[in-house]
Every structure is written in C-alpha cells, then in structure tokens.
A and B are shown apart, each in its own frame.
Chain A
Amino acid sequence: MNMRIPILKLHDCLLVSIQWELDDQTALQFQEDLLHKIHETSARGVVIDFTSIDFIDSFIAKVLGDVISMSKLMGAKVVITGIQPAVAITLIELGIRLEEVMTALDLEKGLEKLQRELGD
C-alpha cells in the first residue's frame, strides 16, 4: 500500500509535487527518498509543491519541517509552494509556524525564487 512520491530532477534542482493526501508512512518514505536523491544528484535546491493538498496536520508538518532542516544540512535550499489558504489557516491555528521556510505562490514562482537564492 506504500505509494512513493515522485521526485524529478531539473538541472541542479529537485521538483516534487505532492498529489494526494499524505499518510504517515508515505510522509516518512518521502523524507528518506528526498534525502537520498539530494545525495545522489548533489542538488542545490528543492521545490515542494502542495497545491493539491487540502490539509496538513502536526505530524506531517513535523516531517516536513524536519526534511527541510535535513536538506539544509546537506546543502540544498527548500522552497515550498502552493500552500492553500485553508491549510495555512489551520497550520497557524495549530500553532505551527514553519518559521525558517521559504515559500512561494506556485511552482513557477518557487523555481524563480530558488534561482535567485542560488545566485544564478
């Protein structure tokens, strides 16, 4: 029943689009897969798109926050994109701030932001 989230490589960046509701196992598997992929490709940036996700609870938020910190340790900057208004509101009300995270409205703007950050 484990579904893996596809991770695409685009130049020195990785692109991830999360298309279905995350259960705990998928989220943890994704954490592992992404870190391996960063290692494998020496990617300098990651964009994770959440446009199709309509809810994030504290567990998934924690996995996400962790994967962002871990990626940073491995030298890859992460931008998350497409967080829906409803998701943003519930995260804030839960008290989750995802403080150090870079965000953008959509995948395209996320990539632009990443390029700027990486200084290309």
Chain B
Amino acid sequence: MSEELFTNLAIFVLSLLVGFEVMSKIPATLQTPMMSGANAIHGVVVVGAFVIAAEANSWVFYILAFFGAVFAAINVAGGYTVTDRMLGMFDRKPKAKSEGDDSK
C-alpha cells in the first residue's frame, strides 16, 4: 500500500467517524434542511470537475468534462441556494412585534 493511499484511507475513515459524531440526534424540524445542506456539501465534486477539465485533450474527454461541470455546478449552486431559502424561513419570525414589519 502506497503512503498516499494510506493517507487517503485514513482521512476517509476519520471523516466518516466525524460525520457519525457530528450528526447525533437532530430535531425533525431540521431534517429536511439538513439533508439539503448535506446534499450541497457533496457539491464539492465541482472541484473534481475542474481537475478533469484541466486534463481533457480529445472530444470524448471534453464531452465528459462538460457534463461533469454541468452536473456538479447544478448540485453545488442549487444545493446551497435552496438550503438557504428553507432556513431563511425560520429566520423571519414575525412574532408579536406589533404592526408594520411584515414587509416581505
């Protein structure tokens, strides 16, 4: 096993453990936004889209790089936008702040 592979494997396993740990019981209210937020995080695959586009050198690879870029960009841009929209709704609590602040 190369040193590089071992390092990557160690990072992978430890990140899994962090993921299990950081995700203890969360309120049902936040489960859908959380899923959407996690969905946005795997949009990091967009970094990979850059890496392959930088290596592409023939039409097959350009086509693959194009689809990689489109897919990853949808995931990352859409993911963060929709998560923020959902969570933004919990922010504006009109509460009983008398009249005149329901401008939105």
Chains A and B are bound partners: no
